[in-house]
Amino acid sequence: MISEWVVSILLLFGGTFILIGSIGLIKLPDFFMRLHGPTKATTLGMASMLIAAMVYFASSEHGLSVKEILITIFLLITAPIS
């Protein structure tokens, strides 16, 4: 029950940040601003969605999924965040 709420909140949080990053990609005027805005927002949004997937699979009968952990680490290492 609690895990369903946590997963729902994390998915909404991640979707909101991905939407904000996409709007920033369209609205910002300069090339470097277009790269800067969506990078941070979509990285945080995707990390939130992957954490939601980890919580969901950990609370179900499948146990902890290593795939989401590896994707999150790869995403955070390769994203151009400074």
User: Residue 18 CB: number of other CB atoms within 10 A?
Assistant: 19
* Residue 34 CA, distance from chain mean position: 18
Residue located via tokens 């999924």:
65
User: What pLDDT digit, counting tens, does each position of 26-67 carry?
Assistant: 888 888 777 777 777 878 888 899 889 888 888 887 777 788
Residue 65 burial class via C-beta count within 10 angstroms: exposed 0-12, middle 13-18, buried 19 and up = middle
pLDDT value of position 30? 83
Give the start-to-end residue ranges of the domains of the chain.
2-78
